[in-house]
């Protein structure tokens, strides 16, 4: 791909009129010669349709009609996409100036490149700040276990996404993680590149799903990992997730096999230590007690921080019941 690739930007939209125009402007003002912008609105009643129609000349395709949520909207947009490279940009987010030139140059320089990513700028009522974390393309293990999916700053070859079948419409919150793992478990971690450049503004506000639906994010992550554990034969790990999460049904599945078992165990371990490694609720207690019973392989491939957290858990959970755990914690607090 020696020429600048055509980049497809799909914007799923619903009831975000106050941000939508800025989103559209951020794409149309890129001064990139080969971009198509598709806006798929779910039948908003807040004036979004008028904004979309006002800017219709800047769009490759658009609609405003009832759909089955964000994932369905993205796939509907993919049906009209003709680009070489793709991402989706939510209607309350925006591209940074010059972002598409950076993306296009990366894919033009390497015809084998499959995924390119950069940084996002978090924006909230307190202002803007760059989210510094970024993937290391040379750290394959962490790309699986603890990826930094700065979604509006992550671009895929469109053919790759089509082969996968777009995003999973059974998911409402972690379709970006599912697409990432679909790619890695099908194609491996080769031909991925991540540069420390700001490519998108990720808005955090009171109505955003990131703010309002944290528990559902975790439930869907647990559902993905439960499915991967079952598919790869890690049934003991799979049995842990229903102890603390409401699992979804109807997922399309990610092609994991017995060869993936070790990396899937590491993916599950990373999730459990990150989100349940500090015990707040009885569900955490029950889940992590069961987790610690899964024997010696738990020490494999742990980061120093994970190892410290694991050792701390072994000390804290060395009690037979939730009641005794709470009593001991209260006594420790009083004696400080």
Q: What is the pLDDT of residues 271-305, one digit of tens each?
A: 999 999 999 999 999 999 999 998 655 556 788 99
Summarize the confidence of residues 152-163 as an average pLDDT. 97
Q: How far is CA 57 from the centre of its chain?
A: 31
Q: How far is CA 193 from the centre of its chain?
A: 17
Cα–Cα distance for residue pair 200/26, rounded to 1 Å: 9
Q: How far apart are the first and last CA of the chain?
A: 63
Largest CA distance in the chain: 68
pLDDT in tens, 65-122: 999 999 999 999 999 999 999 999 999 999 999 999 999 999 999 999 999 999 999 9
pLDDT in tens, 117-143: 999 999 888 888 888 999 999 999 999
Task: Give the chain's domains with CATH numbers.
Answer: 7-205 (3.90.550.10), 213-335 (no CATH)
């Amino acid at each position: 791909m020696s020429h600048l690739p055509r980049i497809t930007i799909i914007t799923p939209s619903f009831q975000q009129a106050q941000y939508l125009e800025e989103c559209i402007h951020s794409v149309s003002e890129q001064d990139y010669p080969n971009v198509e912008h598709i806006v798929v609105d779910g039948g908003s009643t807040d004036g979004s349709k008028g904004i979309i129609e006002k800017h219709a000349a800047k769009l490759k395709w658009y609609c405003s009609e009832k759909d089955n949520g964000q994932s369905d909207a993205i796939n509907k947009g993919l049906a009209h996409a003709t680009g070489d490279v793709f991402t989706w940009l939510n209607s309350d987010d925006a591209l940074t100036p010059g972002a598409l030139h950076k993306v296009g140059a990366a894919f033009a320089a390497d015809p084998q490149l499959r995924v390119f990513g950069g940084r996002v700028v978090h924006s909230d009522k307190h202002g803007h700040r760059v989210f510094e974390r970024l993937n290391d393309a040379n750290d394959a293990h962490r790309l699986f276990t603890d990826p930094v999916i700065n979604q509006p700053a992550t671009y895929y070859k469109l053919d790759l996404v089509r082969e996968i079948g777009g995003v999973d419409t059974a998911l409402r919150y972690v379709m970006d993680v599912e697409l990432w793992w679909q790619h890695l478990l099908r194609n491996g971690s080769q031909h991925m590149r991540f540069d420390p450049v700001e490519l998108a503004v990720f808005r955090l506000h009171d109505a955003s799903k990131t703010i309002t639906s944290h528990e559902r994010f975790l439930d869907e992550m647990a559902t993905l990992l439960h499915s991967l554990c079952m598919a790869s034969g890690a049934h003991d790990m799979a049995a842990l997730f229903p102890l603390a999460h409401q699992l979804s049904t109807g997922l399309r599945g990610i092609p994991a096999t017995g060869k993936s078992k070790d990396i899937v165990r590491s993916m599950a371990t990373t999730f459990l230590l990150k989100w349940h490694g500090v015990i707040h609720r009885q569900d955490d207690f029950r889940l992590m007690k069961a987790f610690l019973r899964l024997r010696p392989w738990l020490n494999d491939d742990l980061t120093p921080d994970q190892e410290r957290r694991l050792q701390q858990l072994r000390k804290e959970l060395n009690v037979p019941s939730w009641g005794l755990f709470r009593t001991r914690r209260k006594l420790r607090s009083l004696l400080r």
